[in-house]
Structure 1
Amino acid sequence: MRNQVTTVYKQAERFAEITKTAIVSGNIARAKKCMALAERLFTSGSYETKNAIANVYVFSVSTFMELRHCTISNLFPKSLKDEYLKQINATSV
């Protein structure tokens, strides 16, 4: 029962951790596959799934990549990159 995940938000959080682990280990091909799957979930998932991908996955992975000075534009697919840009432009810092 260790891998049991209860909500779509927890699943998005776990999926973000898998993606970040792939980036850290240098497995960019796997990270891109994860992001492509997240892109598909974001574009064709339910409202709750889209919300989880935007608010948990994109936020977590983009924050992680920024802290490690990774180029986000090369890894994020179009819809996820657009969501990322929407998030950073919405902040009033």
Structure 2
Amino acid sequence: MRNHVKSASAKAVQFAEITKNLIRKGNIPRAKRCLGIAEQLLANGNAETKNLIANIYVFSVSTFMELHKCSIADLFPQSLRKEYIAQVNASGI
């Protein structure tokens, strides 16, 4: 059996998928817990971790929430919401 080591970006994708699945299933308390963990990683992680959370996690989860008409303002902690707003402003939408 091979030892499968996931890259940091693959882990960020997987974390975003877990969060989206929790939202899909209506398990908002657990989804909020995931968002809180992402908030901590964004605040306290190294440069690579912060970059992965901002560019993979926030983008993936916020896009999913927009497509499914979920209120980002109600779920995203402050720093994640700021990152989301920065991404929207940078895109020129």
Distance in 1 (alpha carbons) for counterparts of 2:8 and 2:42: 12
Whose Rg is larger?
Answer: 2
Identity between Structure 1 and Structure 2 (%): 56
Distance in 2 (alpha carbons) for counterparts of 1:6 and 1:21: 20
Distance in 2 (alpha carbons) for counterparts of 1:52 and 1:61: 13
- Structure 1: tracts of 5 or more residues without a match: none
* Residue number in structure 2 paired with 1:52: 52
Q: Normalized against structure 2, the TM-score is what?
A: 0.93
* Residue number in structure 2 paired with 1:74: 74
Task: Quote the RMSD (CA, aligned, Å).
Answer: 1.2
Count of equivalent residues: 91
1:5-61 Cα offsets, whole Å, 9 max, x none, are 521111110000000000000000000000000000010001000000000000000
Change (3 A) 1:19 1:5: farther
Q: Normalized against structure 1, the TM-score is what?
A: 0.93
- Structure 2: tracts of 5 or more residues without a match: none
Distance in 1 (alpha carbons) for counterparts of 2:86 and 2:10: 23
Write out the 4+ residue segments of structure 1 that deviate beyond 2 Å after TM superposition. Answer: none
